[in-house]
Amino acid sequence: ETGVTQSPTHLIKTRGQQVTLRCSSQSGHNTVSWYQQALGQGPQFIFQYYREEENGRGNFPPRFSGLQFPNYSSELNVNALELDDSALYLCASSLGGLANEKLFFGSGTQLSVL
Amino acid sequence: DAKTTQPPSMDCAEGRAANLPCNHSTISGNEYVYWYRQIHSQGPQYIIHGLKNNETNEMASLIITEDRKSSTLILPHATLRDTAVYYCIVRVAASFQKLVFGTGTRLLVSP
């Protein structure tokens, strides 16, 4: 157990809909990052939030957006869902601002887009 | 970040040492080697990392060759619970926490 919790664990949506995924970071961690993991692939970095600001982004379109709240919890929002958005979405937290930090991952949200 | 190459799968008998290789021939002098693993239906779990010296912790040992072009993760006494996908990642030490995962090595530990 890492202390990073994600909700919901599973979600089914229809193409074109919008979805919000939630993440509570480990106590004391002020940095949250999100990853997308397609079936059979390694996780791909979406973006990172540090002290409520996005400070790094992977190769994902603007319809993937996020928020980080004062308590360092975070949301991932995906608009205009496409079939290829079906994946496991992972949240990871870390202490922030330090080199060589370990990332602590949650168990993910499995999103299916029909 | 430098690319890594890992075998797609490996087998190991329970109780024996599991030695997982990783090639990172284009690694730069300021890039670290990290290992994470992902057990089915869970998020990745940090195992160990190192720059150029061998490292050991309660989970595993990391052996990095002198030229730093390859490394080996060693699980000294593999158990069934070590069955997972193991990812070798190289990255520059920074506060920016992006990890670039490949497809990893699927380790199957059998009785």
The answer to whether the Cβ–Cβ distance between A92 and B43 falls below 8 Å is yes
What does the mean pLDDT of chain B come to?
92
- DSSP assignment letter at B95: S
Mean pLDDT computed over every residue of chain A = 92
Chain A residues with at least one Cβ partner in B under 8 Å: 2, 4, 31, 33, 35, 40-45, 48, 50, 55-56, 58, 90-92, 94, 96-108
Given this model, what pLDDT does residue A21 score?
A: 98
Band of pLDDT at residue B91, cut at 50, 70 and 90: confident
Residue-wise pLDDT tens digits, A19-56: 999 999 988 888 999 999 999 999 999 999 988 999 88
The whole-number pLDDT of residue A22 equals: 98
Quote the CA–CA distance of B87 and B100 in Å, as a whole number.
10
B103 at A interface, C-beta within 8 A:
yes
* Residue A51 confidence (pLDDT): 85
* pLDDT band at B2; cut points 50, 70, 90: low
Contacts of A90 in chain B (CB under 8 A): 43-44
% of chain B exceeding 70 in pLDDT? 95
Q: Nearest by CB to B94, from A58, A99, A108: name it.
A: A99
Q: How high is the pLDDT of residue B96?
A: 67
Task: Enumerate the residues of chain B whose CB falls inside 8 A of the CB of residue A107.
Answer: 41-43
CB A4 within 8 A of CB A92: yes
- Minimum CA–CA partner of A5 in chain B: B43
The residues near B9 (Cβ < 8 Å, ≥ 6 apart) are: B105, B106, B107, B108
Amino acid A41 reads Q
What is the number of CB-based contacts under 8 A between chain A and chain B? 67
Predicted confidence at residue A98, as pLDDT, reads: 65
What is the spatial distance between Cα A5 and Cα A26, in angstroms, rounded to a whole number? Answer: 8
Question: What is the distance of C-alpha B26 from the center of its chain?
Answer: 17
Query: What string of DSSP letters covers A67-107?
Result: EE-TTS-EEEEE-S--GGG-EEEEEEEE--S-TTPPPEE--
β-bridge partners, A112: A12
Residue A67's Cβ-side half-sphere holds a number of Cα atoms within 13 Å equal to 9
Would the pLDDT of B93 be above 90? no
Contact indicator for A55, A106 with CB cutoff of 8 Å: no
> Cα(B94)–Cα(B81) distance, rounded to whole angstroms?
32
Supply the Cα-derived Rg of chain B in whole angstroms.
Answer: 13
Determine whether the interchain pair A33/B97 forms a contact, defined as Cβ–Cβ distance below 8 Å.
yes
Q: How far is it, in rounded angstroms, from Cα A104 to Cα B77?
A: 24
Q: Which comes out higher in pLDDT, residue A37 or B102?
A: A37
Most B CBs within 10 A among A10, A46, A101, hence the mutation to make, goes to A101
Mean pLDDT of all residues in A67-94? 96
CB B87 within 8 A of CB A105: no
Q: Per-residue pLDDT for A2 more than 70?
A: no
B64: CB partners within 8 A, 6+ apart: B33, B50, B51, B52, B53, B54, B70, B71
Q: Do A99 and B101 touch (CB under 8 A)?
A: no
pLDDT at A79: 97
